[in-house]
Amino acid sequence: MAGVEHLAPGPASGTVRVAVIGGGWAGLAAAVELTERGVPVTIFEAAPQWGGRARRCPVQLGDSAVDLDNGQHLMLGAYRECLRLIQHVNADLPGDGLAPNHAVSATSPEVPFVRTRLHIATPDGLLLQRIRLPGTAGVIAGLLGASILSAGERWALMRFLSALRWHRWRGFDGLTVMQLLARFGQPPALVKLLWEPLCIAALNTEASAACAQTFATVLRDSLGAGGDASDFITPRSTLGALFPEPAAAWLQRRGAHLRLRRVVRGIAPSDPQGSAWRVRTSDAAAPDEEFAALVIAVPPPNAARLVGDAAPGVAAQLRKFEFDTIATVYLGWRDDPGLAPITMLGEDAGRGYYGQWLFDRGAQGNWHVGAIVVSAQGRRAPIGPSELARRVASQVAEQLGVAVAPATTVMIEKRATWRCLPGRPRLIPDVCALEGNHLQRLWLAGDHACPERYPATLEGAVRSGVAAARGVAALLDGKIDGA
Ligand SMILES: Cc1cc2nc3c(=O)[nH]c(=O)nc-3n(C[C@H](O)[C@H](O)[C@H](O)COP(=O)(O)OP(=O)(O)OC[C@H]3O[C@@H](n4cnc5c(N)ncnc54)[C@H](O)[C@@H]3O)c2cc1C
């Protein structure tokens, strides 16, 4: 276990400060929620910036240094905990932040994201849109405009959503998405045009292997839910500016201890009852610090290394996650090529056309930038970044009838998300409930520990962080006054 140190137990000091290990969206959500509940927090992050897998990333695009993201992300209106916390940490920014209680759905420029109604256009025409009506009615009405679907395909889609609703979106454990689609008679053309791309976009796992129950849950909370749940939400500038950076500033203003560039190397209970925990970091000069509880908000392999001695059963589960890659190709044009805000591209691996979704990122430096997402790359033979960029640039030019972009840069996240397989481990934040022993003060957070069955998403990460924080705060209830 390289990099992990095994600490011997030591005496507890009676502190009520809680350590959050990991400054991605889950860890920051946990820290904000704990602080909101009056619990003193220290947050450790190994990297030099906040945000983990969803962060601001300066890149060189042709002759310009521009601020983009480590990977293009899309959020949905259904991301209620993300939206709540984004609003919360942006609410008290000096100057032009959101006013307190400002409606998150507003489209005014000070809101740090752009919200558009579900509208999936392809190079061949409209595939799916939503009219603002309750439940699936909005999608059904929107299907009337779906110019690239035949009447039979529209009917099959409506039958599928109605059948899932009738089943209460449950009962598909152990099935893959492809098996689910076959069970409900989805025609092959509709599977190829709509369901396979949606599955890869939402689960970063190909439909032949992806978990049907998780897919049904995503459909329940988006197409199957109320009017704005399927809205598309993208950051107005960068992912970092949307939540991680304002969250860190919010925490700092409230006295939280923020430690960037600090790798946690080892944790150990202070006594056999686990009434406190000691944390050792990469700062060799700093003594071990003691905390009343820990929230381990790092990806599964890192979490397995940290909790291995204390919670071997949980560590074994954490080691079972498999991962897949997401690449984002940024293309730059000198002039605005007239892109739609979001376009579904025609993926065709046989022709080397790997691009799946294109997002218009507007003017950045000297360029007009488009971000093209290439998900679930584990199913393909690897190709180098420059070859990927070349192929995607040709694909976009051909499918959208625009000039071949002269500037390109590629971000590849090899372990972007865990593969959302039917048999993946099911974890929750409460390690005590999972391990069945005394470890009440050790909690997990992260997209892998979301109490609901979500895929690896920002919303899953934030929900897990909030749930862990609420659990820790409940445990410490009554002890906080002595902080
Ligand atoms: C390219 C890409 C595209 C994506 N697209 C979408 C999308 O469109 N929509 C969506 O909802 N989700 C998307 N996701 C998934 C989403 O980004 C993740 O689910 C989410 O960011 C996970 O957050 P997290 O806090 O659980 O983990 P992480 O972001 O991985 O945070 C964990 C943090 O812990 C730190 N850390 C690790 N070990 C230690 C240690 N020992 N000590 C201290 N710190 C440590 C890491 O540096 C990291 O910052 C995408 C992900 C990628 C990579």
> In angstroms, what is the span from residue 154 Cα to ligand 1's centroid?
36
> In angstroms, what is the span from residue 403 Cα to ligand 1's centroid?
34
Unique residue bearing structure tokens 């033979």:
381
Atom of ligand 1 nearest to the CA of 22: 34
CATH number assigned to the domain with residue range 323-418, chosen from the 4 options 3.90.1720.10, 1.10.10.60, 3.40.1010.10, 3.90.660.20: 3.90.660.20
Beta bridge pairs of residue 129: 119
> In angstroms, what is the span from residue 457 Cα to ligand 1's centroid?
9
Atom of ligand 1 nearest to the CA of 326: 1
Alpha-carbon distance of 222 to 14, in angstroms, equals: 45
Atom of ligand 1 nearest to the CA of 449: 26
User: What pLDDT does 324 receive?
Assistant: 94
Atom of ligand 1 nearest to the CA of 53: 29
Q: Report residue 96 as tokens.
A: 């032009």
Nearest CA to ligand 1 atom 1: 71
Which protein residues touch ligand 1 with a CB less than 6 Å away? 21-27, 44-47, 52-54, 71, 73-75, 263-264, 297-299, 302, 326, 328, 413, 416-417, 446-447, 456-459, 461
**Which pLDDT tens digits describe the chain residue by residue (483 residues)?**
345 666 665 555 667 899 999 999 999 999 999 999 999 999 999 999 999 999 999 999 999 999 999 999 999 999 999 999 999 999 865 443 443 333 334 445 567 888 888 888 888 888 888 877 776 777 777 777 777 889 999 999 989 999 999 999 999 999 999 999 999 999 999 999 999 999 999 999 999 999 999 999 999 999 888 778 989 999 989 999 999 999 999 999 999 999 999 999 999 988 776 688 999 999 988 889 999 999 999 999 999 999 988 899 999 999 999 999 999 999 999 999 999 999 999 998 888 899 999 999 999 989 999 999 999 776 677 789 999 999 999 999 999 999 999 999 999 999 999 999 999 999 999 988 888 767 789 999 999 999 898 999 999 999 999 999 999 999 888 666 544
Domain 18-53+239-321+422-482 has CATH 3.50.50.60: yes
> In angstroms, what is the span from residue 308 Cα to ligand 1's centroid?
21
Atom of ligand 1 nearest to the CA of 201: 8
Q: Give the full edge-to-edge strand order of the sheet including 257-259.
A: 257-259, 41-44, 18-21, 293-296, 442-444
> In angstroms, what is the span from residue 280 Cα to ligand 1's centroid?
22
> In angstroms, what is the span from residue 170 Cα to ligand 1's centroid?
28
Q: What is the separation, in whole angstroms, between the first and last Cα of the chain?
A: 35
Which pTM does this prediction carry?
0.93
> In angstroms, what is the span from residue 262 Cα to ligand 1's centroid?
17
Q: Give the residue, out of 4, 73, 420, 443, with the most ligand 1 atoms within 8 A of its beta carbon, to mutate for a pocket test.
A: 73
Q: Where are the domains of the chain?
A: 18-53+239-321+422-482, 119-221, 323-418
> In angstroms, what is the span from residue 92 Cα to ligand 1's centroid?
25
Do 142 and 129 contact (CB within 8 A), yes or no? yes
